[in-house]
Chains A and B, each alone.
Chain A
Amino acid sequence: MSLIIKDLHARVKDGATILNGINLEIPKGEVHAIMGPNGSGKSTLSKVLCGHPDYEVISGSAELDGQDLFAMSVDERSRAGLFLAFQYPVEVPGVTNANFMRAALQARMPKGEELDAVSFYKEMRSKMKSLDMDPRFTARAVNEGFSGGEKKRNDILQMMMLNPSYAILDETDSGLDVDALKIVSEGVNAMRAPFRSFVIITHYKRLLDYIKPDVVHVLYKGKIVRTAGYELVAQIEQQGFDFIKSEE
């Protein structure tokens, strides 16, 4: 069981091509890191996988546990086990965090079954506590007026509530303070399991010191140009991306 991306080409709708043949395999149970210079296509890759309407797939495929990801709607992909913690989580005025999560969990229930409200709130509160979030956030509109770090934490909370099989974290560390980074990393580590994989997109070694990846990829100009072990992180930290750019 894995997430398999083959020769994926994608572009901004009616615009520039951003992904130029991505090949990636994320087996269940592993943590992969994706690094790469600004603008290389990391966020685009994750949004294309989720089905963001701004992009279109030109060619290539993506399979999630054997299912054709691109044949599914955005919500189906989520229910199939894919999760993306966004680089820039969106504000949704008028919809409270609690109602949002209830709807998302209800959507995963078999037809005719109702989510138990009491245990739902209990679970949400306890997860918020583990992320050091104010319990009053349940009643606040999704990300509305949240600080940068609060938004990131909220996305991680959603991940914890939804229990995905494949979680992509797009620069979750940017905007988090030192303590929050530690709390969030601990949360992610606690979720590491043989039935779950993580793709961690980041610019910094610091996060990957907390959440040790099994495999590290470098994305550059819309392609995976390097795949190696954890040692690649240290090399990038020391030398930057020049050694990769000069080879391309």
Chain B
Amino acid sequence: MDFSQNLSMEEAFALAEAEAKLNAALQAASQRFNDAKIPDRYNEDWRFGQPAKHAVALAEILKTNVPARGSISVKCADSEVVMPVSAEDDELKETVNLMPTIGSDALLGLHIRRFGEGICLMLEENTEIKQPIIITYETDGLYTPYTFIMAAPGAKARIEEHHKCADGATMFCVRNIHVMEGAQIAVELHEHGSIDSRCMNITDIHNLGGAVQHFTSHAGHAWAREETIAEVYAASPGTSIELYSANRISGNSVLDQHTHQIHHIGGAKSNLLYKNVVDENGTAIFAGNIRVEAGAHCTDAYQTNRNLLLSEKSTVHSLPGLEILADKVRCSHGSASSPVDEEALFYLTSRGVSRANAQELISTGFLEDAYNKFRKSFDETYTSGLPD
């Protein structure tokens, strides 16, 4: 703590208290990592996710201390906003220590041991960045970047994150998105995989009264896991979190997606739409939970998972969940998985489109729907602004 500033007695006490709290939290956090077990089949959050295969494999390479092999590029109209993550940045590291996971504390702990790569975006108060900010992480080995996005009150921006893995590579990214009052942020994450590549993302979205739209897409990875925790801590009019995802899973690929929509406080809205097109021997796992904490009255929270199965060999596990501890809450969850509608296929082919192309048109349209909703929602809040 820096006492060189002239603080009043009370301020100094308050600061000391805050620091003590943080230290306690950090201690608890490190204890949490020490205690955490590499996910195994008793870990409910890894149900259907074959932890013995995937979590163990990821933990093994993380433990080997192989150096990071990756590159970062950032395109941003305002270079002031962008800062690389440095291993010495203890304050930033603390934010990772405190991050929740969905069943993967041990893996997060291993990620923290490698802390020191990534990008920090500090979006300033009441400023708008018109051009999308584009972050690209690429690896042909093992890469464990950290993305930190802080949107100060009233900040507006669109962020695109691209993760690219070469054959056999592994990308494990931890992401923290803080959205302050009146901020409007859209973040899209595109995972580009390759033969035998793997990726994992743990994303924590802290909404303190802004609007955030989050979109993810996966294509090509042999294995991908996503844990997305979206939390509302403060609400003002227009406070919302929207989570979208659109993915193609084929070959023997596995996409294992877990989400938590947590409303700590009432008066906000969250919505989720995750869509998958699953082909061949692909497997899609979706486990989503909406939690409305006691006292978080007047919450709207929705969740939809939809899967299009292109092959009889394709597998889907969809586990939507609700925990509502407050009143005057509007919540719904739904899940649907079905093959491509034969009538629709017939209609398209009856106009001369081949069956394969017709299926492709329908699949693309199915996934684009999620992306279009994400963009539309962003464009609407972005142009109209949040209500005052």
Interface residues of A (CB under 8 A from B): 50-53, 73-75, 77-79, 83-84, 86, 89-96, 99-101, 103-104, 107-108, 141-142, 158, 162
Contacts and interface: CB of A to CB of B under 8 A. Distances in A.
Contacts of B361: 95, 99-100, 103
B349 interface: yes
Given A95-B365, A104-B348, 11 more contacts: A51-B350, A74-B346, A75-B351, A75-B355, A78-B350, A83-B351, A92-B365, A95-B362, A100-B348, A103-B348, A104-B353
Given A94-B362, A94-B366, A75 B343 contact: no
A103 B355 CA distance: 12
Contacts of A93: 344, 365-366, 369
Nearest to B342: A53
A153 to B, nearest CB: 15
A156 to B, nearest CB: 13
Contacts of A104: 348, 351-353
A75 B349 CA distance: 5
Contact of A142 (B347, B349, B355): B347
23 contacts: A51-B350, A53-B346, A75-B352, A75-B355, A78-B351, A84-B350, A92-B341, A92-B348, A93-B365, A93-B366, A94-B362, A94-B364, A94-B368, A95-B365, A99-B365, A100-B351, A100-B361, A101-B351, A103-B348, A103-B361, A104-B352, A107-B354, A142-B347
Interface of B: 341-344, 346-355, 357-358, 361-362, 364-366, 368-369
Max chain B CB contacts within 10 Å: which of A77, A91, A92, A162?
A92
Nearest to A89: B347
A52 B343 CA distance: 9
Nearest to B363: A94
B368 to A, nearest CB: 7
Most chain A CB within 10 A, of B343, B346, B369, is at: B346
Contacts of A158: 351
B353 A92 contact: no
Contacts of B368: 94
Nearest to A96: B365
Contacts of A90: 343-344, 346-347
Contacts of B369: 93-94
Contacts of A75: 349-355, 358
B346 A52 contact: yes
